[in-house]
Structure 1
């Protein structure tokens, strides 16, 4: 029976039910592969999300997200956190300056693996969004998929939320539930969670624009 359990999204919104009169000006921040970044670019290209990605900021020189930005002809800027000697405020100040330069209105953390500070949050109040691979408030922080498997829970998922100072906290916008199968590994579970991330991230952005 477990193998037949479907994934599902709550609340049950679709992008078609959330039309936006105004084109959202997004700045995306990514540290790794950039699959969520590309999913957003695809949703915009398909005219499912009325938005434009003004810039991608990435903090790792070898991040695959850069290649995806080049593929989509989206401006991309490297802000290497290693250049800021663990000064998170200085890093965020540079990020804010870059986002403001490109006239960004919404900041989208799509796999941004750095802890943010009030510098960023205060510059974009209630306009910084994050996606996390668990059903928050469960399994915050790194290795959320592994945490879920180790805990022995039967379902996990992903969450889009307004970012706050506390890591992986803040008002929840939308979640997707993903059953955990008996033979799941971190890799197989992550792959199924990621499918749901790509579905709910554009919806979460539209919901935020409606609510904030």
Structure 2
């Protein structure tokens, strides 16, 4: 088994993707280990999930800082006390500064509820329905300075049903998020996944622009 890969997870809310990561890293021979969960909100329920799993939790309130750069500098300092090989954004509702992204270049992952590059930003399920798309899904990508624009690692594709609502779509997309995020984290922890000059690399080969596609 590869050497252990220490992970820090950043959250802002309920932490359902965090729970999927906890479950995956505590089951079987997975080299990824979540060293800490950091939230920018003291009431984030994901902190309770982490405590229940015996994982260190920290709160860094962005409202206590003047400006994004000051908060991100303090966040870097806090994260680095855990010396992680990988930082994972799991519903962390902050736009990160260029300095933060550069500091963790190649070891910062995010998950987004759309088939990127479509529907960057918020309200993705509603926007898919309004556009009349017949497919939807979620994407794991390396984080770069472009919002929701880094090289794609893996995407899960689901069909849009004629009677779908934003809520029903979100529920089905969440199921796929909880599968592909632990998968991508494990690939990284096993040394199989890395960020190349322009694309993500898996097992030494460049992934296509869509990342690794999984259809359900």
Q: TM-score range by the shorter chain?
A: 0.7 to 0.9
Q: Equivalent residue for 2:40? A: 59
Matched, 1:117 2:117: no
Task: Give the secondary structure class of the aligned counterpart of 1:129.
Answer: strand
CA RMSD across the alignment: 1.3
Q: CA deviation at 1:122?
A: 2.0
**CA distance in structure 2 between the aligned counterparts of 1:111 and 1:45, rounded to whole angstroms:** 21
Q: Equivalent residue for 2:138? A: 158
Q: CA deviation at 1:186?
A: 1.4
Q: Equivalent residue for 1:207? A: 187
Structure 1 stretches (4+) deviating beyond 2 angstroms?
Answer: 206-209
Matched, 1:44 2:39: no
**TM-score, normalised by the number of residues in structure 1:** 0.86
Q: Number of aligned residue pairs: give it.
A: 192
Task: Give the secondary structure class of the aligned counterpart of 1:187.
Answer: helix
Name the structure with the higher strand share. 2
- Superposition pairs of residues 190-205 of structure 1, within 5 angstroms: 190-205=170-185
Q: CA deviation at 1:49?
A: 3.1
Task: Give the secondary structure class of the aligned counterpart of 1:57.
Answer: strand
Structure 2: tracts of 5 or more residues without a match: 195-216
**CA distance in structure 1 between the aligned counterparts of 2:30 and 2:11, rounded to whole angstroms:** 19
Name the structure with the higher helix share. 1
CA deviation map 1:108-144 (0-9, x unaligned)? 0011111011222222111110000000000000111
**CA distance in structure 2 between the aligned counterparts of 1:137 and 1:106, rounded to whole angstroms:** 23
**CA distance in structure 2 between the aligned counterparts of 1:82 and 1:95, rounded to whole angstroms:** 13
Are the counterparts in 2 of residues 105 and 124 from structure 1 also a CA contact under 8 Å?
no
**TM-score, normalised by the number of residues in structure 2:** 0.85
- Superposition pairs of residues 51-90 of structure 1, within 5 angstroms: 51-85=32-66, 87-90=67-70
**CA distance in structure 2 between the aligned counterparts of 1:210 and 1:90, rounded to whole angstroms:** 34
Are the counterparts in 2 of residues 180 and 189 from structure 1 also a CA contact under 8 Å?
yes
